Amino acid sequence: MARSLAIALSILAGQAAAHTFIWGVYVNGVDQGTFKGIRIPAYNGAPGKGGYNNSPVKDLSSIDLRCNVLGDIQARDTIKVVPGDNLTFDWHHDWRNDTDDVIDKSHHGPSLIYISPDPPTENSFVKLWHSGKYESNPFPAAGKWSTTSDIAKKFGHMNVRVPKDLKAGHYLIRAEMIALHEGDVSYTVNPRRGAQFYPDCVQIEVTGDGAVELPEGVSFPGAYSHEDPGVVHNVYCSTETKKPLTSTTPCATSYTIPGPTVWSGAWPETTPVSVGPAVGVTTHVPWSTWVVSSVVTSASYRDTKSLTILGSSKYEASWSSAYATPTAVAEGEGRW
């Protein structure tokens, strides 16, 4: 099946059950609509068969680390902002409301936000914000971390401001949570374990007459290494079963957030803002395209008992070198 057909077939917004990704974006507290402007990760299985669309990325050499699985496929819409606007990314696990757990309570780790021109180029991602371990607890407790003790406790809200006087144009915001509950060993040493990365990209268009251009940044993949202390880090200093046994190595009392330093042009403080009601669906809906081991499968869909497989093909990410305006889509027609 041709790539164009795979893109044309519908993968509807939502998720079945797994970890976390962005469900919505608020601009100065106003919701832009569920899944609007978000490059939604691909599902990893058929509807009704246990598929979900927010598996972690663990291979740091994979292009999926940039904007998640099929992150090169544009969202159908772009969020318009001006420099200084506050963006609140609404992360969720099962459904978009305040009863959702956002991310599993064991998934301790840092949160990070980058910005890049759209489309990205070599070394184009610039860090705007990050937060890691902000309180240490005695062994074997995990301490307090951005993902579980901050973002999750704030109903999934992660905030950043559009840089002051940023030049008008199209940009990608790459927001990310990293879970270190299995990060005591490198993925390259034990692929069953390793840090889990949850990146997601949001399309924005900055308007106005700003003149500030982004400096050189980092590339994804490329910004992180399996040798980085912020990637291989034992949050518990215990065994795989998390029994509080004595660690064979000293427990690290500090944590180094991976990636570059925060850009000096980013706002020095990112203050949470009050948000209004969410607009749009609040739970997953059916999908008809999924990806397993880089193979895209598409089907016609009426319900979980009436899937007709239309075809499958090997998928290779194809990032454009020039900006293309997203194709509009009518409500209910799907994301691709």
Please check whether residue 147 is in contact with residue 111, taking contact to mean a CB–CB distance below 8 angstroms: yes
Q: Is residue 9 in a domain?
A: no
Q: What was the pLDDT predicted at 138?
A: 80
Dihedral sign, CA of 94, 287, 196, 182? positive
Q: Is residue 114 in a domain?
A: yes
| Structural domain boundaries, residue 102 | 16-279
Q: Is residue 96 in a domain?
A: yes
Q: For residue 147, report the phi and psi dihedrals to the nearest 5 degrees.
A: -65, -50
Q: Is residue 231 in a domain?
A: yes
Instruction: Tell me how far apart the terminal alpha carbons of the chain are, to the nearest angstrom.
Output: 15
Q: Is residue 328 in a domain?
A: no
pTM: predicted TM-score of the whole model, two decimal places: 0.90
Q: What was the pLDDT predicted at 318?
A: 93
Q: Is residue 286 in a domain?
A: no
Determine the Cα–Cα distance for residues 275 and 158; give it in Å rounded to an integer.
12
Length of the chain, in residues:
336
Q: Is residue 58 in a domain?
A: yes
Q: Is residue 90 in a domain?
A: yes
Task: Work out how many domains the chain is built from and give that number.
Answer: 1
Kindly give the confidence (pLDDT) of every residue in the chain, 336 residues in length, as a single tens digit, with 9 standing for 90 and above: 333 333 333 333 333 333 799 999 999 999 999 999 999 998 888 887 777 887 899 999 999 999 999 999 999 999 999 999 999 999 998 899 999 999 999 999 999 999 999 999 999 999 999 999 999 888 778 899 999 999 999 999 999 999 999 999 999 999 999 999 999 999 999 999 999 999 999 999 999 999 999 999 999 999 999 999 999 999 987 544 444 445 555 678 789 999 999 999 999 988 889 999 999 999 887 788 899 888 999 888 776 667 888 999 998 899 999 999 998 654 444 443
Q: What was the pLDDT predicted at 141?
A: 84
Please check whether residue 317 is in contact with residue 63, taking contact to mean a CB–CB distance below 8 angstroms: yes
Q: What was the pLDDT predicted at 250?
A: 63
Q: What was the pLDDT predicted at 140?
A: 78
Rg over alpha carbons for the chain, rounded to the nearest Å, is 20
Q: What was the pLDDT predicted at 329?
A: 54
CATH at 182: 2.70.50.70
